[in-house]
């Protein structure tokens, strides 16, 4: 089974996210419906039949399927299974937080309880964190193996979706199984404009580069550092007249023109997980 997503660079990933972002964060729908729509869309893109969000209880060593897409006799919402019989146990043990199995038989999963129980020939799963605490996993899978291995782009996408899901679930005061809605982020309305702002910041390479300089322990950067990364005078003019003002207006950065510095703005934390993943992908991708 060939993979369905054809994305070759960070710009392509962000463009793809822009097309589906409103599915998950749109204020007019509850998170469960958003996830169901996301799963329906992305299983087609990944060329896989199943997708699910599962919560994991390490004390009882169980996994509970919260939202499921696809008709599989053992994958249904509300079903609890022993963690020892799932691929997800390997996902949460993986230091990178993501597990990709393109061909379970070829990769030695025959005889493993996960393969014997669910019969999944391919699996792509990643961990989900809510309020800085482990929550469970987000997974796409199929009973058949894939003709090609999972690509880095696909891994980045599922990790980005996990970040978004963790962000949405952090806002909820009720379990996901309840049909409650949360329409505010830290007291602000979750608007389409807010989503567009985040995507707009990430879509432009220059603005993405600015945000990437504030990752890690670097909470403040001199604008002269940014200038040295630019190719020509037109790019420097764009930095001062378009990119820095737009990021400052969005509150992703604080720009001190007199001091010649930028630092993390009040809303930097909202966009930081996505910037971090895109930075890692860009760093690891071959030239």
At 110-120, the pLDDT tens digits run 999 999 999 99
pLDDT tens, position by position, 17-49: 666 666 665 666 777 888 888 899 889 888 999
In the sheet that 253-256 helps form, which strands lie side by side, from edge to edge?
A: 220-222, 261-264, 253-256
The CATH code of domain 191-284 reads 1.10.10.10
pLDDT at res. 189? 36
Q: CA angle at residue 40 from 51 to 182, to 5 degrees?
A: 85
Low-confidence ranges of the chain (pLDDT < 70): 1-10, 12-13, 15-28, 171-196, 231, 281, 283-287
pLDDT at res. 26? 63
Instruction: Report yes or no: 9 and 55 within 8 Å, Cβ to Cβ.
Output: no
First to last CA, the chain: 28
Q: CA angle at residue 55 from 161 to 141, to 5 degrees?
A: 55
pLDDT at res. 185? 32
Instruction: Report yes or no: 176 and 36 within 8 Å, Cβ to Cβ.
Output: no
User: Among 125, 139, 281, which residue's Cα sits nearest to residue 212?
Assistant: 281
Say what the pTM is. 0.71
pLDDT at res. 222? 84
Provide CATH 3.30.450.40 ranges for the chain. Answer: 10-185
User: 10-185 architecture in CATH?
Assistant: 2-Layer Sandwich (3.30)
Determine the Cα–Cα distance for residues 183 and 26; give it in Å rounded to an integer.
9
pLDDT at res. 22? 64
Provide CATH 1.10.10.10 ranges for the chain. Answer: 191-284
pLDDT at res. 172? 59
pLDDT at res. 196? 65
What are 105's two structure tokens? 């038989």
Strands (E), 157-200: 184-185, 188-189
Determine the Cα–Cα distance for residues 262 and 27; give it in Å rounded to an integer.
31
Phi-psi region of 132 (alpha: psi -120 to 50; beta: other; left: phi over 0): left
pLDDT at res. 202? 78
pLDDT at res. 183? 35
What are 117's two structure tokens? 């129980």
Instruction: Report yes or no: 264 and 247 within 8 Å, Cβ to Cβ.
Output: no
């Amino acid at each position: 089974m060939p993979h369905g997503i054809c994305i070759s660079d960070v710009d392509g990933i962000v463009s793809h996210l822009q097309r589906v972002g409103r599915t998950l964060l749109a204020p007019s729908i509850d998170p469960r419906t958003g996830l169901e729509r996301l799963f329906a869309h992305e299983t087609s893109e990944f060329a896989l039949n199943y997708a699910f969000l599962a919560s994991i209880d390490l004390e009882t060593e169980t996994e509970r399927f919260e939202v499921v897409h696809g008709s599989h006799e053992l994958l249904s919402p509300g079903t609890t299974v022993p963690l020892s019989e799932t691929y997800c146990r390997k996902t949460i043990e993986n230091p990178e937080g993501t597990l990709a199995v393109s061909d379970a038989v070829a990769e030695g999963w025959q005889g493993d309880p996960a393969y014997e129980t669910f019969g999944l020939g391919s699996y792509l799963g990643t961990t989900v964190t809510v309020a800085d605490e482990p929550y469970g996993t987000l997974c796409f899978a199929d009973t058949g193996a894939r003709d090609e291995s999972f690509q880095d782009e696909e891994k980045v996408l599922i990790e980005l979706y996990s970040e978004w899901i963790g962000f949405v679930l952090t806002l909820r005061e009720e379990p996901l199984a309840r049909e409650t809605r949360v329409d505010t982020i830290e007291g602000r309305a979750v608007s389409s404009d807010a989503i567009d702002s985040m995507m707009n910041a990430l879509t432009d390479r220059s603005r993405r580069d600015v945000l990437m300089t504030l990752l890690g322990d670097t909470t403040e950067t001199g604008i002269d550092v940014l200038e040295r990364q630019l190719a020509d005078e037109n790019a420097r003019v764009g930095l001062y007249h378009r990119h820095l003002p737009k990021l400052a207006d969005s509150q992703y950065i604080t720009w001190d023109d007199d001091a010649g510095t930028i630092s993390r703005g009040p809303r930097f934390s909202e966009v930081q997980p996505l910037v971090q993943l895109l930075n890692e992908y860009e760093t690891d991708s071959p030239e």
